[in-house]
Amino acid sequence: MITTLAIGLSLALLLGMAAQKLKLSPLVGYLVAGMLVGALFVTSEPDGGGTLWGIAVDTATVNDFSHIGVVLLLFGVGLQFHFKDLLAVQAVALPGAIVCMVTRALLGAVFYYWLVQDSGWLSATLFGACMCVSSTVVLTRVLADNKVLSTPAGHTALGWLVVEDIFTIVLLVLIPVFFGGESLGPALGWLVVKLALLVFCVAFLGKRIIEKTLTYVAHSTSDELFTLSVLVIALGIAVLSSTAFNISLEFGAFLSGMVVGQSKFAARAASDALPMRDAFAVLFFVSVGMEFRGGELIEHWPLALSALMLTLFAKPIVAYAMVRMLRRSSRMALMIGTSLSQVGEFSFILASLIAGTYGLLPDYAVNVITGTAIITITLNAALYRYVPHLVKYFEDRGIGVKQSSGELPSPAEDVNRVIMVGYGPCGKILTDILSSYHVEVVIIEMNIDTVSQLTKQGRLVLHGDARQRTILKLAGVEKSRAIMITSFTAPTAEITAAARSISPDIAVMAYTAYHQTAFALRKEMPKGDENSLFFSGEEEVALAMTSTLLTYFGATDEQIARETAHARDSFTRTAIRKMRK
């Protein structure tokens, strides 16, 4: 077992790093590592003949650990799943994902039925269902690498994938019912009853137990015990759903992740559990690669080519058309469509269940899905880098861009806009950083020479006083996420009041010279206002110097965090005493 894990994880590490170096998804490296393990270390000969240096890999061990990876993958999905995030983008994500999944499943079924001899519509439909689900892991990584994860288009794409994940979980629950050999009517009835009981036990009764357990363990100040508690909860509820309720392990893991995700320990559980999930998930991708047979991909090349065309062209085209039909910009449509042009982990899980457990798909169909995933994951990361150039090409020609009657283009619904008051050194640094993350920055500057220079650079800039409501309206304050005041000499209170009079919920961030001024501004904000942040130069410099000095002396991150928090409290207490005097 140790040899098996060492070989699998070592190759996955080396090839994952190589893929990362080539600016590809590490998943490509993990899958290729599995292919190498299967080619070099796996043999059907009882004496181990044909293996490299006589070393054989225990495929059963890899498969067992890969099942843990699947459970933790679903636990992670549940941990990060929030209905409010889906509701925020439901206007596009919900209808778009449903229509696209149905369309892609039908196209996949038609191709399969047409190309595979003696295939029935049942197998064709199941093949189409496997091909219609994109990879959450790949999509998240691609969006993050291209700095668009926090944009409205990124949020919508993630919401889209949430709908696809829910569809996958529903299939994982229903497939055993439909193909388990029992009468469909009673089986569905019992499924509903068992699901209700499981949800009640975990979401209502178990929630209190889980909360109290994690609270008790957290008081022990042992990171190891807390991590172990999270693992026990994830695997325990998954096993409970399978043994006591005869429902899939995956659904139980997803449900336990949702329960923990709604608790006050969500952030800590994510930081502790997700690295553990990633380690076991690597073995899942290695096991998928081990089962891959390139020869079958070549032998059944018409089916492989059709699956590839469906994923690389049909999926993004349908997604693009749906987003445009829902009256969103071509920018958002291109970003979402391109990000969906791949298949990944949930396609493997579905295909393995359908083919391995119920024999409803031939092994070569699973190989086709695996080969399609390897190719599309590789191409997706490479192609997505060209999306901004394609977007700019369209926007330069006025395609999908609406212009306002004012001086500046109206912010699109798929772009975050921030107003930057002042373009000194601080304003310039913030503008460059925000622009690199595809945040649209509108600069309000009083220096006419600076305005002229920024205009030549193609920046969105207005010359005027940010205290004037007219200037703020021209800058698009109604549709802006935040206003940042980067000059300590600016009349922060007046600018804030003017901006809030037009857009009451806009976030305000301001730089002041003295901590006393920043503290006074915080006190003037309405009670419960968490969007306004005021930073003082003397406080931030003192904290930065403290952190740097402690690092120099070898302090741990925990010690540095504790001392900086203590310093902030000290600044606040000093400001309160001065105000009372």
Per-residue pLDDT of the chain (581 residues; tens, 9 = 90+): 677 778 888 888 899 899 888 877 787 888 888 888 877 766 555 444 445 555 666 677 777 777 777 777 778 777 776 667 677 778 888 899 999 999 989 999 999 999 987 778 888 999 999 998 888 777 877 887 777 776 778 888 888 888 888 888 788 778 877 776 666 667 677 777 777 777 777 767 667 788 788 888 877 767 778 888 888 888 888 888 777 776 767 777 877 887 787 777 777 777 776 677 777 778 778 887 887 787 888 888 999 999 999 999 998 999 999 988 988 877 788 888 988 898 877 787 888 888 888 888 888 888 898 888 888 888 887 788 787 777 767 666 666 544 444 445 555 556 788 999 999 888 898 888 888 887 889 999 888 888 888 888 888 888 888 888 888 888 888 888 899 998 888 888 889 888 888 988 888 888 888 777 777 777 777 766 666 788 888 888 888 888 888 888 788 777 788 788 787 777 767 766 665 55
Distance between CA atoms of 510 and 523, rounded to whole angstroms?
A: 14
pLDDT at 245: 72
Beta carbons of 103 and 318 less than 8 angstroms apart: yes
SS3 461: strand
Stretch(es) of the chain classified as CATH 1.20.1530.20? 2-49+62-389
> What class is the 417-580 domain?
alpha beta
Beta strand segments in 391-459, E? 417-421, 440-445
Distance between CA atoms of 399 and 334, rounded to whole angstroms?
A: 12
pLDDT at 440: 87
pLDDT at 284: 78
Length of the chain: 581
pLDDT at 474: 84
pLDDT at 383: 81
Crossing angle for the helix pair 152-179 and 330-339, to the nearest 10 degrees: 40
Distance between CA atoms of 426 and 541, rounded to whole angstroms?
A: 14
pLDDT at 50: 45
Stretch(es) of the chain classified as CATH 3.40.50.720? 417-580
Instruction: Give which of 190, 528, 574 is closest to 198, Cα–Cα.
Output: 190
Distance between CA atoms of 138 and 145, rounded to whole angstroms?
A: 10
Distance between CA atoms of 538 and 520, rounded to whole angstroms?
A: 15
CA 335 to the chain's CA centroid? 14
| Residues forming beta bridges with residue 462, ordered by sequence position | 444
CA 122 to the chain's CA centroid? 33
Distance between CA atoms of 292 and 38, rounded to whole angstroms?
A: 8
pLDDT at 90: 83
Cα angle value 510/513/514 (rounded, 5°) = 105
Instruction: Give which of 337, 339, 347, 338 is closest to 374, Cα–Cα.
Output: 347
pLDDT at 410: 56
pLDDT at 528: 61
> What is the edge-to-edge ordering of all strands in the sheet holding 417-421?
460-463, 440-445, 417-421, 482-485, 507-512, 532-536
Distance between CA atoms of 63 and 45, rounded to whole angstroms?
A: 19
Distance between CA atoms of 16 and 14, rounded to whole angstroms?
A: 6
Distance between CA atoms of 119 and 121, rounded to whole angstroms?
A: 7
In the block, tokens 């796996």 appear at 42
CA 563 to the chain's CA centroid? 33
CATH of region 2-49+62-389: 1.20.1530.20
List CB contacts of 200: < 8 A, sequence separation 6 or more.
Answer: none
List CB contacts of 140: < 8 A, sequence separation 6 or more.
Answer: 149, 158
pLDDT at 195: 74
Buried b (16+ CB within 10 A) or exposed e, 289-323: bbbbbeebbeebeebbebbbebbbebbbebbbbbb
pLDDT at 147: 74
**342 to 25, 154, 203, 338, 522: CA distances (angstroms):** 12, 16, 33, 9, 47
Q: Is the dihedral of CA 454, 458, 460, 463 positive or negative?
A: positive
DSSP 78-144: HHT--HHHHHHTHHHHHHHHHHHHHHHHHHHHHHHHHHSTT--HHHHHHHHHHHT---HHHHHHHHH
